[in-house]
Amino acid sequence: MNQNKPIILLIYTGGTIGMIKNPVTASLEAFNFDHLLKNIPELKILDCEIQTISFNEPIDSSNMHPKYWVQMVEIIEQYYQNYDGFVILHGSDTMSYSASALSFMLENLQKPVIFTGSQLPIGDLRTDAKENLITSIQMASLRNGKDPMIKEVGLYFEYKLYRGNRTTKINADHFEAFESLNYPMLAESGVHLKVNKEYLFQPENKDLVVHKNFNTNVAIIKLFPGISEYSLSCFLNNPSIKGIILETYGAGNATTESWFVDLLVKAINSGVHMINVTQCSGGSVAMGQYATSETLRKIGLISGFDITTEAAITKLMFLLGKNFDSKEFKTNFETSLRGEMS
């Protein structure tokens, strides 16, 4: 290996980016990443060295689960000292969840971990896979002197690099599939790579700490006009549920009907951690701004501020895995751990 060049490890988990059309049958088949350079010769001219590793059984991202997040971080943990950056190839449908989860799992991360994927298979004539893959590798190779320029979990798609735990998939049909509505992009690919250095996460200069415990006894409840006491109580009276993301209206507002408030109070008093997150694509929860959210503040809901639902649910599972008491849990959730909230 040429130690003067960054060495990047590609981790293939599955997804559309890893598919190629069989010229005989016209069906989509898993791409053989052992022949990556042969199939994408443009990678040979990048100013870095590339190695690849793949899940033994690549998965569709619709089957994503915390056990696969653990599998990803164990690969990063095993090879952390050997590589300058990591690019994770992943299906787009649950990519924001995985990017959020890994941001919490990799504490004091000092190297780039960049998720990317595509809307069309890598073998398709009009594919977006090649550009996303090539530029993700370039982003992971950027240096500030001898140190990596990016030291966080990012998500690259359609010419833009975002903080992973700030992203949401907004479109199933367009190449521009992701958006970060509450935080500026970290970098943009045009004629030149433009990095917005002032927005990059600056971790503490400490050794990497890897976390692997998640508690999945959680739920997301999206409020809507007409939500019934019966349907809501099915979640709130379930003894297995330990945490709930409550997607409220606007800046954190909800109905003030007595049955609704009573159900929330009963759940909170039984030890359920309840997070107030706006169901709007952008913006922030501001409990107390309106009378309809002041009630939620008084009964003890935790504010998610401007966190995305994807980051909120993964942070909830992550913190539940820590077995914090109620006060510690609230403090940690309302604190930005990896730049996931403003």
For residues 46 and 140, is the Cβ–Cβ distance under 8 A?
Answer: no
164 class by beta-carbon count within 10 Å (0-12 exposed, 13-18 middle, 19+ buried): buried
Q: How far is CA 210 from CA 22, 96, 106, 286, in A?
A: 39, 19, 5, 32
Closest CA to 69 of 216, 178, 182, 185: 216
Catalytic residue among 13, 16, 248, 308: 16
Q: How far apart are CA 103 and CA 313, in angstroms?
A: 13
For residues 140 and 8, is the Cβ–Cβ distance under 8 A?
Answer: yes
CA angle 175, 176, 177 (to 5 degrees): 90
Any catalytic annotation for residue 25? no
Closest CA to 255 of 286, 228, 220, 275: 228
Q: Give SS3 for 98.
A: helix
Q: Give SS3 for 291.
A: helix
Which are the catalytic amino acids? 16
